[in-house]
Amino acid sequence: MAHAVLERPRLTEEERRQRAVDALGLGEDVREERFDRISRVARTLLGARMSTITVLDRDRACYPGAAGYDGTAMPREQTFCHTTTLQRSLLVVPDARADGRFRDLGLVAAGEVAFYAGVPLTDAQDNVVGVLCVFDPEPGTLEGDRLQSFLDLAVWAEQELLASTEMSAAARVQASLLPAHPLRLPDWEAAGVCLPALAVGGDFFDYGVSDGVLHLGLGDVMGKGTGAALVGAGVRAALRATHLDVVAGADLGASATAVARSLHRDLDRAGAFAALVEAAVDLGTGEIRFVDAGLGLMLVVRADGRVERHVGADRPFGLFADDDWTERRAALGPGDRLLVFTDGVLDLLEDPLHWWVPVGELVAAHRDPESLLAALSALTRGRTPLDDVTALAVYRAPCGDR
């Protein structure tokens, strides 16, 4: 029997445009330096008094970027950019005082604007999501090299509105997948930090507690940016899926082998590999069971100051389909501290070949994981590393603090 096809009413061009603005997260409460920067360049290059990146959000004109103008939102019908958006093409108004379309606008009547030039900024579906414009109290023209420079700036502004907004959203999503809070338990504390070199990165960390066992993981996917972030999210999710088995005592080597083999085809097609440490800490005894899959950056700082490196010989995930991994063991006594980190930290060190000395001193100098990671974050901001910087710290309280 034939079924009737239910069709939704077609969206108007304005409805599609507004949905695109909403999807990009643009609106009256958005004001960002990256957009201000473009406005400053446009104002300087074209010798205009003012420049904005304008977004029409329903009945208001908003200004994610502005230079020479305070960026106060106003009714869209009172702006030149309303007309630019409707006509979907470059609009140049040499003298608005002599143009019947604009002479009654508030800014024109007040003598604040005579010259205007604006070019629409569109998304991949050709919706006008913004306008780059310049305006000045004196009449003017825009032609030749100055016009071409303005159009080139509009391409930059368009890319910034779209790509950078997407990257900002991706960064927020990636951050939301990490543990939201440090872990504080009687006698134990754990915390992590992930500082991508770009907006997003391939590093990840995770931890959770069940049945007196702290299950933690930290990894570094080859590469930076969105591609590495997607792979990292997949590896992290696969490791998290083993949590119940791990806390129940399953051999970590067998667990890691199963995860790596299930991921191998995807990693191979992506041309990626993942170096990582997965560990389970018995919070009663302090015993650590762990797998080191090619990371090699795990150390324990003992209560008496001794620094011990714990390194496995196994390869990263994604290199060979028939690889397997081995569970290893260590222990954290009262007052001992564990740090696992990615190789982006090595870029911060004067002597990365003997990294355990300065890193061990850094761990010993801080009484809790949060202050340690704050110091590492400050060092990262000061040195501008070439790779993502991620670290995970676990501290066991000294006997006297129990």
Alpha-carbon distance 153 to 46, whole Å?
A: 11
Do 196 and 343 reside in the same domain of the chain? yes
Phi-psi region of 266 (alpha: psi -120 to 50; beta: other; left: phi over 0): alpha
Please count the structural domains in the chain: 2
Do 279 and 389 reside in the same domain of the chain? yes
Alpha-carbon distance 66 to 375, whole Å?
A: 35
Of 124, 139, 172, the residue that ends a domain is 172
Do 167 and 187 reside in the same domain of the chain? no
Bigger pLDDT: 24 vs 151: 151
Residue 274 covered by a domain = yes
Q: Is 42 helix (H, G, I), strand (E, B) or coil?
A: helix
Do 214 and 148 reside in the same domain of the chain? no
Do 92 and 209 reside in the same domain of the chain? no
Q: Which helix (H) or strand (E) holds 22?
A: helix 13-24
Do 235 and 121 reside in the same domain of the chain? no
Residue 223 covered by a domain = yes
Alpha-carbon distance 369 to 18, whole Å?
A: 45
Question: What counts of helices (H) and strands (E) characterise the chain?
Answer: 11, 17
Alpha-carbon distance 50 to 129, whole Å?
A: 20
Q: Is 57 helix (H, G, I), strand (E, B) or coil?
A: strand
Tell me the CATH number at 340: 3.60.40.10
Retrieve residue 312's tokens: 């496995």
Q: Is 203 helix (H, G, I), strand (E, B) or coil?
A: strand
Of 110, 145, 172, the residue that ends a domain is 172
Domain range for residue 166? Answer: 13-172
Bigger pLDDT: 167 vs 248: 248
pLDDT tens-place string over residues 289-337: 999 999 999 999 999 999 999 988 899 999 999 999 999 999 999 999 9
Do 265 and 364 reside in the same domain of the chain? yes
Alpha-carbon distance 263 to 238, whole Å?
A: 8
Do 190 and 168 reside in the same domain of the chain? no
Residue 401 covered by a domain = no
Among residues 114, 108, 110, 53, the alpha carbon closest in space to that of 81 is found at 53
pLDDT tens-place string over residues 60-111: 999 999 999 998 899 999 999 999 999 999 999 999 999 999 999 999 999 9
Separation in Å, CA 158 to CA 44, 132, 162, 243, 355? 19, 9, 6, 44, 44
Give the list of residues 6+ apart from residue 262 with CB closer than 8 angstroms, or none. Answer: 238
| pLDDT tops 50 at residue 256 | yes
